[in-house]
Amino acid sequence: MSKKILNPPSPKMLINSIRQIGYSFESAVSDIIDNSISASAKNIDIFFPVNSDEKMYTAFVDDGSGMSRKGVINALKIGSSFEGERKQNDLGRFGLGLKSASFSQCRKLTVASKVNDQLVAFGWDIDDVEKSNEWFCNEYSSNEIKAIPQIDKISILKNGTLVVWREFDLISSKLESVKDLHRQLSNILELTRTHIGLHFHRYLNKKLVISINNVPIVGLDPFLENHLKIEKGQLSSLSLKAKNNQEYTVQIQPYTLPHYLDLSDEDIALLGGIDKIRAGQGFYIYRQERLIVHNTWFGIGAKAEVFKYARIKVDIPNTLDDIWDIDVKKQNAAIPAKLLAHFRKTVGDIQLRSKKKTRHKQLAIGQDDNKIWNKKKARNGKESYYINLDSKFINEYINENFHETSYSKIYSLLEIIGSTIPFDAIYNSVCNQCIDTDLDSEKEREIIEIAKNMALKFAQVKKIGIDKSLQAILNFEPFNHLDIKKVLKELGCE
Ligand X SMILES: Nc1ncnc2c1ncn2[C@@H]1O[C@H](COP(=O)(O)OP(=O)(O)OP(=O)(O)O)[C@@H](O)[C@H]1O
28 to 57, contacts with Mg ion by CB under 5 A?
34-35
Which lies closer to ligand X via its Cβ, residue 129 or residue 398?
A: 129
How many residues bind Mg ion (CB under 5 A)? The answer is 4
Which lies closer to Mg ion via its Cβ, residue 195 or residue 303?
A: 195
In the complex, the smallest distance separating the C-beta of residue 105 from ligand X, rounded to whole angstroms, is: 14
User: Could you say which of ligand X, Mg ion, none residue 99 binds, taking C-beta under 5 to 8 angstroms by partner kind?
Assistant: ligand X
User: Could you say which of Mg ion, ligand X, none residue 280 binds, taking C-beta under 5 to 8 angstroms by partner kind?
Assistant: none
Which lies closer to Mg ion via its Cβ, residue 37 or residue 312?
A: 37
Q: Which residue is nearest to Mg ion (CB)?
A: 97
User: Could you say which of Mg ion, ligand X, none residue 67 binds, taking C-beta under 5 to 8 angstroms by partner kind?
Assistant: ligand X
Q: Where are the alpha helices (DSSP H) in 213-362?
A: 265-270, 275-279, 321-324, 340-362
Could you please report the per-residue DSSP string of 242-278? -TTS-EEEEEEEEEEPPPGGG--HHHHHHTTSTHHHH
Host H or E run for residue 138: strand 138-139
282 binds Mg ion (CB under 5 A): no
Look at residue 440 and give its three-state secondary structure.
coil
**How far apart are the C-alpha atoms of 207 and 151, rounded to whole Å?**
25
Provide the total of helices (H) and of strands (E) in the chain, helices listed first.
20, 16
Least Cα distance to 27 among 360, 320, 359, 293 occurs for 293
In the complex, the smallest distance separating the C-beta of residue 164 from ligand X, rounded to whole angstroms, is: 12
In the complex, the smallest distance separating the C-beta of residue 316 from ligand X, rounded to whole angstroms, is: 15
Residue 474, CA atoms < 13 Å, CB-side half-sphere: 16
User: Could you say which of ligand X, Mg ion, none residue 39 binds, taking C-beta under 5 to 8 angstroms by partner kind?
Assistant: ligand X
In the complex, the smallest distance separating the C-beta of residue 34 from Mg ion, rounded to whole angstroms, is: 5
E strand intervals along 159-271: 160-166, 209-212, 215-216, 231-232, 236-241, 247-256
User: Could you say which of ligand X, Mg ion, none residue 24 binds, taking C-beta under 5 to 8 angstroms by partner kind?
Assistant: none
Which lies closer to ligand X via its Cβ, residue 41 or residue 277?
A: 41
In the complex, the smallest distance separating the C-beta of residue 392 from ligand X, rounded to whole angstroms, is: 45
Q: Which chain residues interact with ligand X by CB under 6 A?
A: 31, 34-36, 39, 62, 64-65, 67, 75, 80, 82, 92-99, 161
97 binds Mg ion (CB under 5 A): yes
In the complex, the smallest distance separating the C-beta of residue 140 from Mg ion, rounded to whole angstroms, is: 22
Which lies closer to ligand X via its Cβ, residue 49 or residue 92?
A: 92
In the complex, the smallest distance separating the C-beta of residue 80 from Mg ion, rounded to whole angstroms, is: 8
Which lies closer to ligand X via its Cβ, residue 329 or residue 355?
A: 329
How do 282-287 and 236-241 pair as beta strands?
A: unpaired
Which lies closer to ligand X via its Cβ, residue 322 or residue 449?
A: 322
In the complex, the smallest distance separating the C-beta of residue 460 from ligand X, rounded to whole angstroms, is: 42
Which lies closer to Mg ion via its Cβ, residue 77 or residue 344?
A: 77
Q: Is the dihedral of CA 36, 22, 289, 228 positive or negative?
A: positive
Q: Note whether 196 and 202 are within 8 A (CB).
A: no
CA torsion, points 359, 360, 361, 364, in degrees to nearest 10? 90
DSSP 3-state helix, strand, coil percentages of the chain (rounded to 5)?
40, 20, 40
Which lies closer to ligand X via its Cβ, residue 94 or residue 397?
A: 94
In the complex, the smallest distance separating the C-beta of residue 122 from ligand X, rounded to whole angstroms, is: 11
92 binds Mg ion (CB under 5 A): yes
Piece in contact with Mg ion (CB under 5 A), picked from 88-96, 107-115, 354-362, 464-472: 88-96
Piece in contact with Mg ion (CB under 5 A), picked from 92-100, 206-214, 234-242, 366-374: 92-100
64 binds Mg ion (CB under 5 A): no
Question: What b/e sequence results for 225-235 when a residue is b if at least 16 CB atoms lie within 10 Å of its CB, and e otherwise?
Answer: eebeebeebee
In the complex, the smallest distance separating the C-beta of residue 409 from ligand X, rounded to whole angstroms, is: 33
DSSP code for 42:
S
Which lies closer to ligand X via its Cβ, residue 37 or residue 372?
A: 37
Which lies closer to Mg ion via its Cβ, residue 35 or residue 395?
A: 35
Least Cα distance to 102 among 122, 131, 82 occurs for 122
User: Site map for Mg ion, 316-355, x if CB under 5 A?
Assistant: ----------------------------------------
CA torsion, points 178, 180, 183, 184, in degrees to nearest 10? -90
User: Could you say which of Mg ion, ligand X, none residue 94 binds, taking C-beta under 5 to 8 angstroms by partner kind?
Assistant: ligand X
User: Could you say which of ligand X, Mg ion, none residue 162 binds, taking C-beta under 5 to 8 angstroms by partner kind?
Assistant: none
**How far apart are the C-alpha atoms of 278 and 261, rounded to whole Å?**
14
Residue 224 phi, psi dihedral angles, 5° rounding: 45, 50
Least Cα distance to 222 among 308, 285, 280 occurs for 280
Q: Note whether 281 and 311 are within 8 A (CB).
A: yes
In the complex, the smallest distance separating the C-beta of residue 449 from Mg ion, rounded to whole angstroms, is: 51
The residues binding Mg ion (CB under 5 A) are 34-35, 92, 97
